[in-house]
Amino acid sequence: MSEYFNKKGLRHDGRSVTDTRPITIEAGYVERADGSAYLEWGKNKIVAAVYGPREMLPRHMANPYKGRIRFVYRLAPFSVGERKNPRPGRRDVELSKVSGEALSAAALLENFPNTAIDVYVTVLDADAGTRIAALTAASVALADAGIPMKDMVTGTAVGRVDGKLVIDLDKFEEDAYDAVDMAVAMMPNTSEVVLFQMDGVINKKEYSELLKMAESKCKEIKAIQEAALKKKYEKEFNK
Ligand code: ADP
């Protein structure tokens, strides 16, 4: 027995190796936004708000052939144990860039030349896996804003903890001595990967196994995203 797995092979919080933490999503959370979502993923709490398509300012940034997604990922200063400096750091800038690119792969931006679609995601409470949780929430917010997409963007972290391959590492597991943390986001219909980042060292066999695990989990998470959107619109139609 280790501190990461009990005798039955369950993780420190009772999950099996293929369980994510509980995920709940509410679409249409921010009144003022064109589209929005509130997501809880385990102890992560995240708000995503989308504004646009709207005129691209400054104008020299406008693309006459398609719209541009501007993704802003921020960890709130109170979201982590030590106060985070509210000024965006390199991590915020990096995650904003790769997440914006991931959404741009799915959104049909040719429909919106010269415009900006601003996606603001704030992590209120962080417990590892926030980049994927942020992207998952943002994808719901984008759909809620009525932006046509090829598919939802859905993700999960997968990795290795104490020699075992697992889905969705939390902060405790991410700090394991041999941890591998692989953030994967896909368009589940085609399994095209739109975001991939990894910490740690793994072999080819583990890598393919992890990708397979991520692929099937993304399909499950997409169903949660879709259910959140359906719930919002059913409520509106029944008003
Ligand atoms: P992810 O949240 O996508 O797993 P990281 O692996 O970079 O991204 O971060 C893991 C966790 O470490 C975060 O979810 C958060 O709980 C914590 N963390 C990240 N950045 C900071 C920071 N600047 N200060 C304190 N804790 C942080």
* Amino acid 225: pLDDT: 98
Which pLDDT score is estimated for 214? 98
The alpha carbon of residue 71 and the mean position of all alpha carbons in its chain are separated, in whole angstroms, by 12
Average pLDDT score over residue span 143-151: 98
Which two tokens mark 112?
A: 């919106």
Domain spans of the chain, in order of start: 23-237
Residues of the chain with pLDDT > 90, as a percent, come to 97
Query: What pLDDT, on a 0 to 100 scale, did the predictor assign at position 13?
Result: 96
- Residue where the block lists tokens 């603001």: 120
Q: Phi-psi bin for 129: left (phi > 0), alpha (psi -120 to 50), beta?
A: left
Q: Which residue has 């991410």 as its token pair?
A: 174
pLDDT digits (tens, 9 = 90+) for 109-127: 999 999 999 999 999 999 9
Cα-to-centroid distance, 191 and ligand 1 (Å):
27
Q: How far is the CA of 126 from the centre of ligand 1 (A)?
A: 7
Indicate whether this model's pTM tops 0.75: yes
126 C-beta closer than 6 A to ligand 1? yes
User: Which atom of ligand 1 is closest in space to residue 199's alpha carbon?
Assistant: 6
Cβ-proximal residues to 175 (8 Å cutoff; 6+ apart), any chain: none
Best residue for ligand 1 mutational test, from 20, 39, 43, 75 (most atoms within 8 Å of Cβ): 75
User: What local confidence, expressed as pLDDT, does residue 1 receive?
Assistant: 67
* Mean per-residue pLDDT, 234-238: 87
Return the ligand 1 atom nearest residue 131 CA: 3
- CATH number of the domain at 23-237, please? 3.30.230.70
In this predicted structure, what is the pLDDT of residue 238?
A: 87
Whether the CB of 45 sits within 6 Å of ligand 1 = no
Determine the pLDDT at residue 223: 98
CB 70 within 8 A of CB 100: yes
- CB 84 less than 6 A from any atom of ligand 1: yes
131 lines ligand 1 (CB under 6 A): yes
Q: How many residues does the chain have?
A: 239
Q: pLDDT tens digits for 34-92?
A: 999 999 999 999 999 999 999 999 999 999 999 999 999 999 999 999 999 999 999 99
Probe ligand 1: pick from 20, 41, 79, 80, max atoms within 8 Å of CB? 80
Q: Which atom of ligand 1 is nearest to the CA of 89?
A: 23
Beta strand pairing status for 35-41 and 23-27?
A: antiparallel
| Whether the CB of 34 sits within 6 Å of ligand 1 | no
Q: How far is the CA of 12 from the centre of ligand 1 (A)?
A: 20
Average pLDDT over residues 141-157: 98
Residue 179, C-beta contacts closer than 8 angstroms, at least 6 positions apart: 159, 160, 161, 169, 173, 199, 200
User: Ligand 1 atom closest to Cα of 133?
Assistant: 3
Has residue 231 got a pLDDT over 70? yes
Asked if residue 169 has its Cβ within 6 Å of ligand 1, the reply is: no
As a whole-number percent, the residues of the chain with pLDDT over 70 amount to 100
What are the Cα distances from residue 127, in Å, to 132, 209, 232?
Answer: 12, 25, 27
Ligand 1 atom nearest to CA at 183: 3
